[in-house]
Amino acid sequence: MHIVVCIKQVPDSAQIRVHPVTNTIMRQGVPTIINPYDLFSLEEALRLRDRFGGEVTVVTMGPPMADASLRKCLTYGADRAVLLTDRFFAGSDTLATSYALSYLIKKVAQEWGEPDIIFCGKQTIDGDTAQVGPGIAKRLNLLQLTYVAKIDEFDLAAREIVIHRRAEGGIQILKTKLPCLVTMLEGTNDMRRGSIEDALRGARSEIVTWNAAEAGIPDLALCGLKGSPTIVKKVFAPSPRAEKAFQIEVQGKTPAEISDAVIGEINQRQPGLEQDIQKMAAGF
Amino acid sequence: MANEKFDAIVVGAGPSGNACAYTLATRGLKVLQLERGEYPGSKNVQGAILYADALEKIIPDFREDAPLERHIIEQRLWMMDDKSYCGAHYRSEDFNEDKPNRYTIIRAPFDKWFSKRVVQAGALILCETTVTELVRDAHDKVIGVRTDRDGEAIYADVVVLAEGVSGLVGARAGLRSIPKPDTVALAVKEMHFLPRETVEQRFNLEGDEGVVIEAAGTITKGMVGTGFLYTNKECISIGIGCLISDFTESDQSPYGLLEAFKNHPSVKPLLAGSEVKEYAAHMIPEGGYKAIPQLFGNGWLIVGDAGQFVNAVHREGSNLAMTTGRIAAETILDLKTRNAPMTAHNLAAYKARLDESFVMKDLKKYKNLPKVLHNKHLLTTYPQLLSQAAQTWFRVDGVDKKSKENEIVKSFFRTRRVKGLLGDVLGMARGWR
Domains of chain A in sequence order = 2-222 (3.40.50.620), 240-284 (no CATH)
Interface test with A, best of B129, B233, B277 (most A CBs within 10 A): B129
Peptide bond into B48 cis (omega under 30): yes
Residue pLDDT tens, chain B, 433 long: 456 799 999 999 999 999 999 999 999 999 999 999 988 888 888 889 999 999 999 999 999 999 999 999 999 999 999 999 999 999 999 999 999 999 999 998 899 999 999 999 999 999 999 999 999 999 999 999 999 999 999 999 999 999 999 888 988 888 888 889 989 999 999 999 999 999 999 999 999 999 999 999 999 998 889 999 999 999 999 999 999 999 999 989 999 999 999 999 999 999 999 999 889 999 999 989 999 999 999 999 999 999 999 998 888 999 999 999 999 999 999 999 999 999 999 999 999 999 999 999 999 998 887 777 777 777 778 888 888 899 998 999 999 989 999 989 898 888 888 778 888 887 777 777 6
Long-range pairs for B336-342 at CB < 8 Å and ≥24 separation? B336/B7, B336/B29, B336/B157, B341/B157, B342/B141, B342/B157, B342/B158, B342/B298, B342/B299
Mean pLDDT of successive 10-residue stretches along chain A, which has 284 residues: 96 76 70 93 97 97 93 95 95 93 97 97 90 96 95 94 91 95 94 92 92 94 91 79 77 87 87 85 75
- Say whether residue B154 is in contact with chain A using an 8 A CB cutoff: yes
- Closest CB to A195 among B128, B151, B277: B151
Nearest of B315, B311, B308 to residue B292 by alpha carbon: B308
Residue A121 Cα, gap to closest chain B Cα (Å): 22
A89: amino acid identity, one letter: F
- Closest CB to A195 among B32, B150, B277: B150
Nearest of B254, B251, B323 to residue B284 by alpha carbon: B254
- Closest CB to B149 among A29, A193, A204: A193
Q: What is the pLDDT of residues B292-304, one digit of tens each?
A: 999 999 999 999 9
A31: amino acid identity, one letter: P
Q: Do B124 and A200 touch (CB under 8 A)?
A: yes
Instruction: Give chain B positions within 8 Å (CB) of A206.
Output: none
- Say whether residue B135 is in contact with chain A using an 8 A CB cutoff: no
B205: amino acid identity, one letter: L
* Separation CA B382–CA B390 (nearest Å): 12
* Separation CA A59–CA B180 (nearest Å): 49
**pLDDT value at residue A235:** 78
- Say whether residue B13 is in contact with chain A using an 8 A CB cutoff: no
Residue A20 Cα, gap to closest chain B Cα (Å): 13
Sketch out chain B's domains with CATH numbers.
5-67+105-178+288-356 (3.50.50.60), 182-285 (3.30.9.90), 370-432 (no CATH)
- Closest CB to A203 among B126, B147, B150: B126
Residue B124 Cα, gap to closest chain A Cα (Å): 7
| Eight-state DSSP code of residue A178 | S
Q: What is the ipTM of this complex?
A: 0.78
Nearest CA in chain B to A195: B150
Instruction: Give chain A positions within 8 Å (CB) of B32.
Output: 200
**pLDDT value at residue A20:** 66
pTM, whole model, 2 decimals? 0.85
Instruction: Tell me the sheet residues that pair with B103.
Output: B50, B71
Q: Do B126 and A195 touch (CB under 8 A)?
A: no
Instruction: Give chain A positions within 8 Å (CB) of B193.
Output: none
- Closest CB to B147 among A75, A196, A204: A196
Q: How far apart are the two ends of chain A, measured CA to CA in Å?
A: 52
